[in-house]
Amino acid sequence: MSRKQIMQVYGAKLVNELQVYLRALHTHQANNDVVKRTRDALHSTLKGYFDREPQGSLQVQLLPEETFLNSTLLPIAMQDFERIKEMTAQLRQMGVGELIFDSAVTTESLSVFAQAVYGCMHGGATIETRAFTGIEALELEYSSSGSSERDAHKVAVWLYAGLLDGLQGLRDLVAEGHTPTMVPFMRHMRLLVDLTAERGMVLRHMCLARPSADTDAEVQQIACRTFLAVQVGHANGLDRSSLMALGLSSILELISRDSAPSEVMTKLAPYTSLSDLAPKVMMILRALELARLGKSADRLGQLLLLLDELVETIHGSEPATLEDVHSQLGWTQGADEEVLEAVLGWLGEHPVGAMATSKRLDKVLLYDHGEDGETLRCREIFDDGLGDVVELHDIDEAQPIIFSGRFDFAYTEESEEGW
């Protein structure tokens, strides 16, 4: 059995015992013998783990239909499923979605925890104490972009933040002499491609915002370029495999950068987890290096080159204007006119995510193109946040459009008019 499978078997046992223990509190007090027996069984199971992993912790996350132990989904058997679901719902009512155990857990601390649960269960309140000896009872936030469009921005943020961590991990691991698998990045690209189709506007805002100056520029640039590549590729009709190959190419450029075109394949040869995408990724990255040298190259390589320039320009030390972007990309050697037009066309004359000047409202954030996809809308920028979403018909064309969006614009609840 793999480590994961062992964890799944153990997790199913642990969650069942937790359920039996908490279920006993329905009819008995925490100090009742029946409850104590179930408590001892749970403690024994916990102890079994911590005897082997004294430094470890067990994080149980309870979602309506899914249960995770240390981020591993547990295969709850059908006969236990309804009971676990009931326990999850009950704990959620108490404001608990996540339980973390460590080796300090004792039968006494389990009893104290049970007492708190008993109080909530029969008093209908939210749990007050969240930390017990060796036990933490925490809230759990979860989001599913498929179920709620408005939550998609959270998924987008986590995806972007995850990619930053992933890129950092990739860079460090390669420096340590490892050959990381590309499979997690493939899953990441799948989510990104789907999210691009559903909430491309959020991704666009995220990509065109300026990261902080003292952050890891290399990783930020690659993450942003990857997100942009998938969006521009999607807008130009690339299929899923091509989008994934393009995204993976952008990520793997971290490894192949500064290589001569002829060295790219050698550098990527060990990455066998690229599977059937290997030829495409290798050829795109080779084309990128050719394009960087101003030589004739495949257009997907040219696209990455232009997006690299775009990110570098808008992430520069000073906020760039749309004119700067046009000028910088226009001067880029090695890219065909058609590819340049595709990138500039995607940005548009009034790029959503950038800032413009309204004759009436002054500085505004170009927000979206409305329900009809044609009416430019904006939000006024205040010191303490953004104004309501309004249609924008009076752009002051004399003033530059500037790429100076931020991740952390203060959130202000919009008035009904905005919706």
Within 218-247, which residues bind other proteins (CB under 8 A)?
233, 235-242, 244-245
Contact status: 254 vs other proteins (CB under 8 A): no
Tell me the C-alpha distance between 47 and 102, whole Å. Answer: 9
Contact status: 262 vs other proteins (CB under 8 A): yes
Stretch that binds other proteins, among 13-21, 24-32, 145-153, 317-325 (CB under 8 A): 145-153
Of 201-220, which residues contact other proteins (CB under 8 A)? 201-202, 205-206, 211-216
Which of 200, 316, 319, 400 touches other proteins by CB under 8 A?
200
Of 12-51, which residues contact other proteins (CB under 8 A)? none
**In the bound complex, what is the minimum distance in angstroms from residue 271's beta carbon to other proteins?**
9
Cβ atoms of 167 and 223 within 8 Å: the answer is yes
Contact status: 186 vs other proteins (CB under 8 A): yes
Question: Residues with Cβ < 8 Å from 64, sequence gap 6 or more?
Answer: 85, 88, 89
SS3 call for 236: coil
Stretch that binds other proteins, among 38-46, 118-126, 324-332, 384-392 (CB under 8 A): 384-392
Which of 15, 46, 155, 354 touches other proteins by CB under 8 A?
155
Cβ atoms of 88 and 80 within 8 Å: the answer is no
Tell me the C-alpha distance between 201 and 209, whole Å. Answer: 12
One DSSP character per residue, 342-404 reads HHHHHH-SS-BTBEEEETTTEEEEEEE-TTTT-S-EEEEEETTEEEEEEE---B-TTSPPEE-
Of 66-125, which residues contact other proteins (CB under 8 A)? 66, 68, 71, 73, 75-79, 81, 97-98, 100
Contact status: 325 vs other proteins (CB under 8 A): no
Tell me the C-alpha distance between 305 and 308, whole Å. Answer: 5
Where on the phi/psi map is residue 322: left (φ > 0), alpha (ψ -120 to 50), or beta? alpha
**In the bound complex, what is the minimum distance in angstroms from residue 29's beta carbon to other proteins?**
28
Contact status: 6 vs other proteins (CB under 8 A): no
Per-residue binder mask for other proteins (CB under 8 A), 340-369, x = binder: --x---------x--------------xxx
Contact status: 414 vs other proteins (CB under 8 A): yes
Distance of CA 366 to the CA centre of its chain: 24
Question: Residues with Cβ < 8 Å from 246, sequence gap 6 or more?
Answer: 229, 230, 233, 238, 284, 300, 303, 304
Which of 119, 184, 316, 319 touches other proteins by CB under 8 A?
184
